[in-house]
A and B are shown apart, each in its own frame.
Chain A
Amino acid sequence: MVKLVENQVISHKEFEMIKITDEVRKAVEESGIKNGLVAVITKHTTTGIMVNEALPCVEKDIEMQLDRLVPNDYPYVHTHMLPTYGTCSGNAPGHLKSMLAGNHCLFPVIDGKMMTGSEQNIYFVELDGLQIRKYFIEVIGE
């Protein structure tokens, strides 16, 4: 059996780590699936899905490390008008940080609940805010 949920989040900063662990747990419990896997997948190319410890210091280190690896001010190629969009491409850092963050995570589902380590939290990570965003929660099992 497969159950799919699409959720919306609104980011309020250029970089923002938005905890969605509770939303994923809820979707798993409401899916009716007892044993299997849950996948959390972003719909975008300048966002990420991360799993990490929900401490402000860790979140800040993640942000600072991404900024060191992918500076905002750099002669990126993806900085020009896109005729197929009719808009400018000014978000190369978001795309590159998204590559580092990854677009999904997976957790086991056992007895109708998502199984995680005690300090594991799931984040929807905005890398090109502010924007209205969406992500999938797909529960697969029986």
Chain B
Amino acid sequence: MVIDIHAHPLLLDEINENPEDLQFRRQEFGVFKSGINPVDFELVLLEDAKIDKVVFLPEDYSTEVGRAIVSNDEMARIVARSPEHFIGFAGIDPRREDAETELIRAFDELKLAGLKLNLSRLHMYPDDACLAPLYKICQDKNKPVMFHAGYSWEPNTPAKYSEPIRFEDVAVEYPDLRFCLAHMGWPWWQETIMMLMKYPNVYADTSMVYMDSPRNYYEHLFSVNMNLNWLQNCFQDKVMFGSNNPRFRHVRSLDGIKNLPLREDVMDAVLGGNAMRFLGMED
């Protein structure tokens, strides 16, 4: 099982019938030149890359910009196009008056699989009081949270709100809440691996090719910045393959991970096993 835990659906044709919708999403997300991607072609890309499932992450800053970049209803429509391949997360602007009821609706009615939050875009630290009710809902309903962590390409996203160490209180106060520090929290990958080793409920993903080719970048990070055995022996059950598509192609990010000289059991875990546990698919 290969799962891409980190992809964004904002260019899919299912939700971009109106050209103004596409333009809004491009500007808000900071993907300026990419064209519409038909859902049918996305499935071809996944099949070519030999990726079994992809997790789509929406974002909602509607109290600020008037509408979600991808709403929960739109996400449910996307997932309905190919439920065996697509896993959809919910997006909630925590400043919405109906944030809690909308999150419950997203889980109970729309059957979305987790919550995505980019606190850098929200200008909000992880211990902000308005986030606590959302964390509790996720913990009670056994739904994971995908936090943006570290550097973000989105406009208006100060990294200070998403430094990995800032999430430590969440890991302590919500020990049964599984959450992922996306992008390995780059450039604070040392803080991220501390969190991975110390807290059983903390995960990270590999959607962090900010420079160089995936092969060179992953090799340098895991074998030069780190020792490859750290990944193999210390947090082998915590790192998940993520591409950050459409900022980078699924297939090329995956090639970079597959090129790492990992033990077979670790490779299997990184490519899918860890994501299955994070998503609660093993329950």
Binding site for B on A (CB under 8 A): 10, 12-13, 73, 75-76, 79-81, 84-88, 90, 130, 132
* A-B contacts, 16 listed (Cβ < 8 Å): A10-B41, A76-B213, A79-B211, A80-B210, A81-B210, A84-B32, A85-B31, A85-B34, A86-B32, A86-B153, A87-B33, A87-B34, A87-B246, A87-B247, A88-B209, A90-B209
Chain B positions 211-267 with a Cβ under 8 Å from a chain A Cβ: 211-216, 246-249, 252
Chain A proximity of B55: nearest CB distance (Å): 19
Asked whether A87 and B248 contact (CB < 8 A) given A79-B211, A81-B153, the answer is: yes
B31 touches A81 (CB 8 A): no
Main secondary structure of the interface of A (DSSP, over half): loop
**B125 at the binding interface (Cβ < 8 Å):** no
Partner of A73, one of B33, B215, B249: B215
A90 touches B153 (CB 8 A): no
Chain B proximity of A130: nearest CB distance (Å): 6
Asked whether A79 and B213 contact (CB < 8 A) given A12-B48, A130-B44, the answer is: yes
A88 touches B248 (CB 8 A): yes
Closest to A76 in B: B213
Residues of B within 8 A of A87 (CB): 31, 33-34, 246-248
Residues of A within 8 A of B216 (CB): 75, 79
Chain A proximity of B117: nearest CB distance (Å): 20
Closest to B26 in A: A86
**How extensive is the interface on chain B, given as a class?**
20 to 34
**B29 at the binding interface (Cβ < 8 Å):** yes
**B45 at the binding interface (Cβ < 8 Å):** yes
B209 touches A86 (CB 8 A): no
Distance in angstroms between the alpha carbons of A87 and B252 in the assembled complex: 13
Asked whether A86 and B29 contact (CB < 8 A) given A12-B44, A130-B45, the answer is: yes
Distance in angstroms between the alpha carbons of A45 and B162 in the assembled complex: 37
Chain B proximity of A7: nearest CB distance (Å): 16
Chain A proximity of B267: nearest CB distance (Å): 19
Distance in angstroms between the alpha carbons of A13 and B153 in the assembled complex: 29
Closest to A74 in B: B213
Chain B proximity of A120: nearest CB distance (Å): 31
Chain A proximity of B253: nearest CB distance (Å): 9
Closest to A129 in B: B48
Residues of B within 8 A of A132 (CB): 35, 38, 41
**B175 at the binding interface (Cβ < 8 Å):** no
